Every structure is written in C-alpha cells, then in structure tokens.
Chains A and B, each alone.
Chain A
Amino acid sequence: MNNIWGSMEQYDPVVWNWMIAVYLFMAGLSAGSVMVAIGLRWYKRSRGLPVEGLPVIKASAIIGPAAICAGMALLVFDLTKPFDFYLILLNYNLTSVMAWGVLVLLLYIPLMFVYFALVFQQVLLERVPALTGLINVLRVIEQPLLKLMFVLAIGVAIYTGFLLSAMISYPILNTAVLPALFLASALSMGSASNILLATLAFNKSDSDCIEQVHRIEYPVAFNEALCLVLLFVGLNFSGPAAQAATAAISSGVWAQVFWFGVVGLGLAVPVLASTLAPVAWRHSKAFLIGVSSCTILGVLALRHFVVYAGQMYIS
C-alpha cells in the first residue's frame, strides 16, 4: 500500500556507504603501518641495532603514503560536489571533528611523502639527483620529524573514530570506545600489512624484525577484542534504543559480517594460528601471508560493520 505522505527513500538512515568504510580502513592502514614501523625503529635504535633497510620499514614507507592517498581519492569521490572539495580546505568550523581531521591530514599527507623519501633515499636520488639538497636538510631534522609523524598518525587513527562517534543519534557509533577501537584495529592491520608487504616484496633474510612486529599483534588483538566487548556491554546499559542496537550482532547480514569477518577472520584465526600452529610453519612465507591477510580482511570487515550496522540503529 502506498502512503499518502510521499516517498520514504530519503529517510534511509544509512547515509555514509562503503566508500566511507573503505576510506576509514585506508586511513587506519596508513596510520597503523607508520606507527608500527616508527615504533620498531625506536625499539631497534634504543638497543643499538641498525634500522636502515629493514623490510618492515620499507613496507611502511610504501603503505603509509599510498593508503592515505587512495583513501583521500575515495573520500573526494564520495562528495556530492567533488569539484568543490577545495572549500573544505578554506573554511574551518572547529566544532566539527571533520575540520580537525582535515587539519591533521593537511600535515600528515605531505609528511608521508617525506617519510617515503627518507626511507627510499638511495632509489630516489638515483632517479632524481636534484633532490639531494632537500633530503640532506630532512635528514638533519629526521628525529623530530619522525616524532611528529608518529603523533599525527595517532591523530589520524583516532579522529576517524571520533568522526563517527560525534553522531549523537546512532547508539553504536556514539560511544567513547569507538576511537580506541579504531586505534587498536589500525595498529593490528598496520603490523599485518607491514608483514604482508615485507614478506611479499622485500628480502626477509635482511633481518628478523618481522617476528618482532608479529609479537605485538597479540596485545593489540586483545585490546581490539576488549573494545568490542566494552562497546556492546555498554550498549546494553544505555537505555532502550541502545539496547535494541545490540541486535546488530545477533541478527541480520551485519551480524554475520561481525562474527565471521571481524571476530573469526580478524581475531580468532590469527591468534589461534600463531598459538597452535607448529613452530616450523610459523616462519614460512605462506603462513605469514595467510595470517596477515586474515587480520587485514578482519579490519576491513570491522570498518564496514561499524559504518553500516552503526547507522542502521537510531535512537
């Protein structure tokens, strides 16, 4: 039966779609990968070990800039007025999380190219010798730059969580754990993607740091799982609308994405594989590739789950 008041199409509560989910994924991927690699660099340096040419660091210098640029392209493409996107660079409403995100990204994105240039100095200078002067200057301030990049990367990972949590009428999104969940999952996909690319593209025998990166995955996965538990336990105590939203993990297609994708692929498979698999397997290429791919797919599922299920329930 038709209603007499007209079409209900515009009232669909799901406003942001997969492009936003993939953007959130890409931003987290870039930030997580860089955080893990800079952290590893500091760890190695504090023990007096060499840090140049480590496969994991090389991997992050590619993932860092590439992922954030791909994400930005999607974001601009998703605007209803993509050709007017420059307006967001000129006008800032500082009560908006998105405006803060733009400010952070404005610094973060160019620094990602600096990061790339510092890591791939040799390759770069062979092709473009004219950059020698610039890179020498950057080298001098490398340490403070790395600190700045690390802080900005935390900012990028967290702001994507606040971006969603600022929407007060969606109980799943409007929670304080969302930014923490996004930070934890950014770290887990960051380390997984560094391992994946390092194993695929760079010589693993250069160092054993893949193992070290692999080790931080347990505490990170634990934190991610904890945030998810907090999220849904919290909803249960936050009034009828929030309670109704817990249906997101018990019924419908997004519940399947949650249990199979987020919990299964993203958390259970990597943790079980790394604890139960025979030691001989753990160093094999196939094992590392398989396990890191699962983690990454799990986080991709998490971003989709949060964006879609988050908008489906409204208070």
Chain B
Amino acid sequence: MTKRYVMVHDENKCIGCQACNVACRSENSTPDAVTRIQVRIEGPHGHYPDLHFKYHRVSCQQCENAPCVEVCPTGAAYVGDDGIISINKDKCVGCQYCIAACPYKVRFINPETRVPDKCDFCKHSRLAEGKQPACVSVCPTDALTFGDANDPSSDVAQLLDTRIHFQDKAHLGTKPRVYRIPGKRGGINQ
C-alpha cells in the first residue's frame, strides 16, 4: 500500500518553546533571515484569571491537493512518489507563483539558492535514513507525531482515530496532511 505521511500537532502538549523551529533550522541549514516552521503563540484568550494561549504551527501542510504544484509553470514544484511536495531547483525560474498561490503562506525564497523553500518533512535527510523529522525528534513534550497514516497500527493513525482533530483552512479543499488536536480550552482557530 502507498505511504501517506502525515504529521499531528497536539496543541494541548505544545508549550511554544520553538525547539522544533531551532532543530529544523540546524538540520536543513536554513539561512537566518527565513524559516520553515514557526509555532506562533496566540493569545492570551479567555478572561482573567482563566487565561490561556493557543499554539499554532505554521509550516508546509503537505497538501494532497497542492495549489503550489498546480500553478507551477515548469513542474519544479512537484509531488514525489511518497506524496511529499518538494521543489526541483533545476527546473525553477523563480516566478514566485507557488509562493503567491500557497494559502498557508509557508513558501519563501531561500536567499542563498534564489529558489522557493519550505518544509519537506526532512525527506532527503532524516526520512531517507529512516529517522523521524528533526522537529518531531526534538520536541520535549512529544506534541508532534509523524508517520504513515495508511498503516492502521501507526501512532498517527491511532491518534487520528481516537482524538478530535482539525486541519487549517480545510474549506479551501487543499487536504492538508498536518493535523491539529485542538487545545482543550481553546476553540478551533483556523
């Protein structure tokens, strides 16, 4: 059966420490000015003294219906056999159509290569070695779970079967592969 890599972000466990952000930066040698993931701490919400924050992970959603791939004129933005959306540097002209078309605004021009860049679940480095993406490995609270959702025994499949979850901007029909488990106190904030 084909793989369907997904990531689940449990917003109850997340503490917004940015360890994932830093680990990603070091794993992927991301230039200082840009970033592949951020966990935005939104809030405070609620009424004093019952205040709380929400933790919103911003990174490529690995859409199954990826607008960035659809609009790319040269096919430089492409879906790999494993379903992961990547960028072929050698075909890209830098028109930035994909950056404009991504509803999650997670693509950026890498100042060193002049080519768009974004999260690819560490496809070429850690995933190729059979390891988990850097952000997942480093998370101190295990807020991130990664794996093949087509395998019913995987951690992600079990989480998605048992916990209430949502996807960002689901109404756009992009079918994101990053799932979120909403914080107990917070409503769903897309």
Contacts and interface: CB of A to CB of B under 8 A. Distances in A.
A290 interface: no
B93 A85 contact: yes
A9 B95 CA distance: 19
Interface stretch (B107-115, B139-147, B149-157, B179-187): B107-115
Given A81-B115, A168-B67, A169-B169, A6 B103 contact: no
Contact of A5 (B21, B97, B108): B21
A199 B35 CA distance: 54
Interface of B: 16, 18, 21, 33-35, 38-41, 58, 67, 69-76, 90-97, 99-103, 105, 108-109, 114-115, 169, 171-174
A15 to B, nearest CB: 4
A287 interface: no
Contact of B35 (A6, A81, A91): A6
A311 B41 CA distance: 25
Interface in A55-81: 79-81
Contact of A168 (B16, B101, B105): B101
Contacts of B174: 168
A88 B103 contact: no
Nearest to A8: B38
Interface of A is mostly: loop
Given A7-B35, A80-B114, A84-B94, A15 B99 contact: yes
Interface residues of A, number: 38
Nearest to A5: B38
B73 A96 contact: yes
B93 A84 contact: yes
Interface stretch (A97-105, A181-189, A260-268): A97-105
Contacts of B16: 4-5
Nearest 7 interchain pairs by C-beta:
A80-B94, A169-B103, A98-B73, A91-B74, A10-B108, A5-B38, A15-B100
Interface of A: 3-7, 9-11, 13, 15-16, 79-82, 84-85, 87-88, 90-93, 95-99, 101-102, 166-169, 239, 311, 314-315
Given A6-B38, A7-B35, A88-B73, A80 B109 contact: yes
Contacts, number: 117
Contacts of B69: 95
A5 B67 contact: no
A166 B101 contact: yes
B75 A93 contact: yes
B93 A88 contact: yes
A87 B73 CA distance: 10
Contacts of A98: 71, 73, 95, 97
B73 A92 contact: yes
Given A10-B108, A169-B103, A96 B172 contact: no
A93 to B, nearest CB: 4
B74 to A, nearest CB: 4
A171 to B, nearest CB: 11
A233 B15 CA distance: 43
Contacts of A16: 96, 100
A63 to B, nearest CB: 26
Nearest to A167: B101
B8 to A, nearest CB: 20
A156 to B, nearest CB: 16
Contacts of B102: 169
B105 A314 contact: yes
Contact of B91 (A7, A9, A91): A91
Contacts of A97: 71
B95 A314 contact: no
Nearest to B56: A5
B172 A79 contact: no
Given A15-B100, A80-B114, A84-B94, A3 B41 contact: yes
Contacts of A314: 103, 105
A168 B172 contact: yes
Contacts of B100: 15-16, 167, 311
Contacts of A311: 100
